[in-house]
Structure formats: C-alpha cells, structure tokens
Amino acid sequence: MEMILCKLGEVVLKGLNRRSFEDKLIANLRRRVANCGSFRIYAKQSTIYVEPTDDAADLAAAFDACRKVFGVIAVSRALPCAKDVQAIIETAKTYLHEDLSTAASFKVESKRADKTFPLTSIQLSQQVGGALHQAYPNCAVDVHAPALTVFLEIRDDAAFVHGPAVPGAGGLPLGMGGTAVTLLSGGIDSPVSSWMMAKRGVALEPLHFFSPPYTSEAAKEKVIALARELAPWCGRMRLQIVPFTEIQEEIRRNCPEEFFTLVMRRFMMRIAQRCAEEAHAKAIVTGECLGQVASQTMEALRVTEDVVTLPVLRPLIGMDKEEIVRLSRKIGTFDTSILPYEDCCTVFTPRHPRTRPHLDEVRAAEAALDVEALCGRAMDGREFVRIKL
Ligand code: ATP
Ligand code: MG
C-alpha cells in the first residue's frame, strides 16, 4: 500500500540527542495524521515512514499534514512492490506515469539496504533507467540536473518506488525547544513570529489582550481564527484571552499621553511573564520589529522588557515588512490578519508617542497605578479557548 516518507532535517546532526528528536517527531507526526485515518509510524535511516494500516486512510490529507510538521525537510510518497527488477520497472511506470510523461529529463537513484539483492545500486539504476527511457522516450536521461529523480529503495521487506519529494517545513520538532508564551494580536506580524519560534521547536502558549467595548467580539474571533490557522504547524494550543479594558482605562486616567503605549506594553509583558511562570514557559515571544512603530525603537524595547526577567524573543526584529508578509502568506494567516478589526493597541494611541523614552520617566509615569492589583484582576478574568488540530 502507498505510504508517506518524511526525511528528517537537522535532527540527523544532533548525535546523542538524535533518539529523542526522532521520538518527538514521531509523536508529533502521529498526532497530526490522527485525523486522516489509521497509520503505522516508524523511523529507519533518517526517514520516518507513515504507513496507512487500511484503505480508509486519507493519504493526500496526511501528506499535507506531514508537510507542516517541523523537523521534516522533505516529504514524498512511495509504493512498495516485489524485490524484482521487472516488478520495480512496472511499478515505476504506473506509479510515476504522470511525472515521467511530463518531465523533460530524469535519473534513477537507488539505495540498497538489503545487501542480498542480486544487483548493486548502480546496476539497478541503470536497468530501471534504461527501461523507463524506452517507455518514455521524450523524457531524457540526465544524471546531473534531472527534472525528475526516481528513487528506488531495496529494503528487507520490499522494494520501494518513491514519488517526487517536496520540501517539508524544516526546523526542529515541536517541543524540543521548550515552551514560550507568545503574544498574539490580530495583526500580520505576531502570527509570523509565533510560527518562527515554533519552527525552532518551541511549543506555544498564545496570549491575547482584548479591551471590550473598545475592541469588538469580531476582533476576538479573528485572533481565534488566526490561532486555528497556526495549529496545523504549531499543534494544538490553549489560547488565553486576557481582559485589558480596566488597565487601559487606568492608564488613560493616570499617565501622560506620550507614554500610553509604552505603559500598556509593560502591562502586557508583566501578564505574559505571569502566564509563562504558570505554564513553565521559558520565554516571551512578540512580533516586534525594529523601527516599525514608535514603540519599537531600541529605547522603547528596553522600556518594554524592563518589567520582565524572562528572555523576550523577537524573531522578526531584523525583517522588512515585505519579508514578513511573504511568510504570512506562506503559512496561511495573511488573509485573516488583514481583516479590518481594531486591536487594543489602536485604541488610546497617543498623538505624539515618545520614540526615545527614558526608563525613569516611564517608571514615574506609571507610579500612580496599582500594578499588582491590575495584573491580578486581568489574570483572574482570563478566558481559555482550546485550539484543536
Ligand atoms: P502585529 O501585526 O503582530 O499586531 P504590530 O506591528 O501591529 O504587530 P504592535 O501592535 O505594536 O505591533 O504590537 C507589537 C507586538 O505586541 C505584537 O506583534 C504582538 O506580539 C504584541 N501585541 C500587540 N497587541 C497585542 C494584543 N492585543 N494581544 C496580544 N499581543 C499583542
Ligand atoms: Mg498590532
């Protein structure tokens, strides 16, 4: 029966950790394809095999799911057949008919794990390549830069003909990098920053601040939708929605206008740190990008992170908007991100925000606020939304 092969990425390089990387990846793959049917999943020689156990499995859906699992660099399908040259040729012809009919050139690459197989890898490639070229004379043999590579593999149990490989998600298996709280707004940037950290193996605890009635129910739904769009990459998550209205109103009542945004961001960080401690998360992720807005100058970032001790990870810090947008389209969050709903950052924005704030001034600006009580009430008012796969 046809199956899916996932090629491991960097995982391969990790020496002693390799086993735990592989185990994590297998567990992640297992969870991701669970919706697509019943599969047997196992690792052999830098490849993970995702093999349906019956005909009911949706292989196309499982293939798409595998492409979004971090730690996999390439995904292909493969069809097993008898360990016999003629059977391999016939299988390649039917299985790869479309590809061989349309590709301008091809080569055959063979791997022989079963050393009792009578032909060497080179002999096998030559024989199968010759037969395929005869059957598809328009598809030239090109061993240097072929449009199509036909992979053959001789294993103990069977021979395998591989379909063309497509790129996987790359990165490291989710969970290998620990857990971080990620600040998820409804904008373009923060879904991308979340995705980038997940790509490096970090499991995410997303956090969203909302300020009814200044921000609408639709704005909240938008963030839930974004989290759902991230789930095929980042796995299931628990989105925490933190009420932020009281804090924003207190800031407006008590602080100089030029510091509104910075004081607000400091509250976001404090609450993020509390949530991180609760979830045993080791860092806070934001979608901040140097120079993008007044609150993202180096001085402003310093003021923002002053209130936390955990590392603040800002994967977008050196990226241009165009690069961020390109990624956002690739991961599938862009269309939702541009829906026109207000964010709590856009209510009470100062007309003249300070771009080079001094820490002392900002600390003084918020001195009148009961930080402890405000954060405590925001924590108590949280709502939790389960984001399933
Ligand atoms: P984004 O596109 O992610 O909204 P932005 O460029 O609009 O980013 P800001 O609105 O200043 O920038 O926010 C900077 C970062 O702060 C965001 O990327 C996000 O990580 C976090 N953030 C902003 N607003 C919220 C919110 N309402 N809830 C959670 N996090 C937020
Ligand atoms: Mg924003």
If you measure from the C-alpha of residue 143 to the centroid of ligand 2, how many angstroms do you get, rounded to a whole number? 50
Residue 239 near ligand 1, beta carbon < 6 Å: no
If you measure from the C-alpha of residue 330 to the centroid of ligand 2, how many angstroms do you get, rounded to a whole number? 20
Residues 238-268 pLDDT 10s = 999 999 999 999 999 999 999 999 999 999 9
pTM attached to this predicted model: 0.93
* Number of alpha helices (DSSP H) and beta strands (DSSP E) in the chain: 14, 15
Q: What is the DSSP string of 278-320?
A: HTT---EE----TTSSGGGSHHHHHHHHTT--S-EE-TTTT--
Query: In the predicted model, is pLDDT for residue 275 greater than 80?
Result: yes
Q: What is the pLDDT of residue 121?
A: 95
Where does the chain hold its CATH 3.30.2300.10 domain(s)? Answer: 85-157
- Is the N-terminal amide bond of 213 cis, ω within 30° of 0? yes
Position in ligand 1 atom list of the atom nearest CA 261 = 11
Q: What is the pLDDT of residue 9?
A: 79
Residues 182-215 pLDDT 10s = 999 999 999 999 999 999 999 999 999 999 999 9
Q: Which of 189, 295, 349 for mutating ligand 1's site (highest number of atoms within 8 Å of CB)?
A: 189
Where does the chain hold its CATH 3.30.70.1510 domain(s)? Answer: 1-82+159-173
If you measure from the C-alpha of residue 309 to the centroid of ligand 1, how many angstroms do you get, rounded to a whole number? 20
Residues recorded for the chain: 389
Mean of pLDDT values over 325-339: 97
Q: 3-state SS of the chain: helix, strand, coil percent to 5?
A: 45, 20, 35
Position in ligand 1 atom list of the atom nearest CA 242 = 28
Mean of pLDDT values over 348-373: 93
Residue from 10, 47, 45 nearest 26 by CA: 47
Where does the chain hold its CATH 3.40.50.620 domain(s)? Answer: 179-387
Query: In the predicted model, is pLDDT for residue 173 greater than 90?
Result: yes
Residues 70-93 pLDDT 10s = 999 999 999 999 999 999 999 999
- For residue 286, the ligand closest to its alpha carbon is 1
Residues 19-31 pLDDT 10s = 888 999 999 999 9
Residues 22-66 pLDDT 10s = 999 999 999 999 999 999 999 987 789 999 999 999 999 999 999
Query: In the predicted model, is pLDDT for residue 11 greater than 70?
Result: no
Pick the CATH number of 85-157 from 3.30.420.130, 3.20.20.140, 3.30.2300.10, 3.30.70.20: 3.30.2300.10
Position in ligand 1 atom list of the atom nearest CA 207 = 29
- Alpha-carbon distance 243 to 379, whole Å? 8
Position in ligand 1 atom list of the atom nearest CA 295 = 11
If you measure from the C-alpha of residue 220 to the centroid of ligand 2, how many angstroms do you get, rounded to a whole number? 13
Structure tokens at 194: 């979340």
Query: In the predicted model, is pLDDT for residue 13 greater than 60?
Result: no
CATH architecture of 179-387: 3-Layer(aba) Sandwich (3.40)
For the domain made up of 1-82+159-173, the CATH class stated in words is: alpha beta
Q: pLDDT band at residue 349, thresholds of 50, 70 and 90?
A: confident
Query: In the predicted model, is pLDDT for residue 344 greater than 80?
Result: no
Q: What is the pLDDT of residue 15?
A: 62
Phi/psi for 364 (5° steps) reads: -65, -35
